[in-house]
Amino acid sequence: MRQTWDPGRAGILELPSGLLIRGRALLRPIPAGPQPEFGLYLLGKRPAAVGWDSRWVRWRDLRVPADDADTLDALTEALRRAETERVEVACWGGRGRTGTALACLAILDGVPPAEAVAFVRARYRRGAVETPWQRTYVARFRVPEA
């Protein structure tokens, strides 16, 4: 059975395919309602354990990910799992790293790289993808060749 988020809730990004992914700030309490079934956490150090499957990508605040291959693998896993599970992507503030990852997920889901930041800012959070190097990371992000 497909588990999903309520598309009308704050922080829920609907991708072009219709998949729903929740972005959030770890500094805030977990939102009311169903819990995620998979979390992708973008932090400079290993996050605290959670009560669901999760994955950590080493990613310092205001920067880009430390390992591009690991990041691509984690984003691909999150997108695949979003087909049947409630997936959340989160960093400390829920803006820069989370927005950058959501923009990359949008690219994997068919949004052109040149439009991905605007897509996420319009549908997730206006200030998403905070720094020039995060915007450059998104602009250069490509779907791997099959």
What CATH number is attached to the domain comprising 53?
A: 3.90.190.10
Residue 68, domain extent: 18-140
Q: What pLDDT digit, counting tens, does each position of 39-94 carry?
A: 999 999 999 999 999 999 999 999 999 999 999 999 999 999 999 999 999 999 99
Is 129 inside a domain boundary? yes
Q: Mean pLDDT in the chain? A: 95
At residue 2 the predicted structure's pLDDT band, cuts being 50, 70 and 90, is: low
Task: Report yes or no: 134 and 96 within 8 Å, Cβ to Cβ.
Answer: yes
Phi, psi dihedrals of residue 88, rounded to the nearest 5°? -125, 150
Is 9 inside a domain boundary? no
Is 1 inside a domain boundary? no
pLDDT of amino acid 3: 73
What crossing angle do the helices spanning 96-108 and 113-123 adopt, rounded to 10°? 120
How far apart, in whole angstroms, are the C-alpha atoms of residue 82 and residue 4?
8
How far apart, in whole angstroms, are the C-alpha atoms of residue 5 and residue 76?
19
Helices (H) and strands (E) in the chain, counts: 4, 5
Q: How many domains does the chain have?
A: 1
Is 96 inside a domain boundary? yes
pLDDT of amino acid 118: 98
Is 106 inside a domain boundary? yes
Is 47 inside a domain boundary? yes
pTM of the model: 0.96
Task: Report yes or no: 110 and 17 within 8 Å, Cβ to Cβ.
Answer: yes
Mean pLDDT of 5-19: 94
pLDDT of amino acid 11: 96
Is 87 inside a domain boundary? yes
Is 102 inside a domain boundary? yes
* Residue 17: how many other CB atoms lie within 10 Å: 13
pLDDT of amino acid 4: 86
At residue 8 the predicted structure's pLDDT band, cuts being 50, 70 and 90, is: confident
24 has a pLDDT exceeding 90: yes
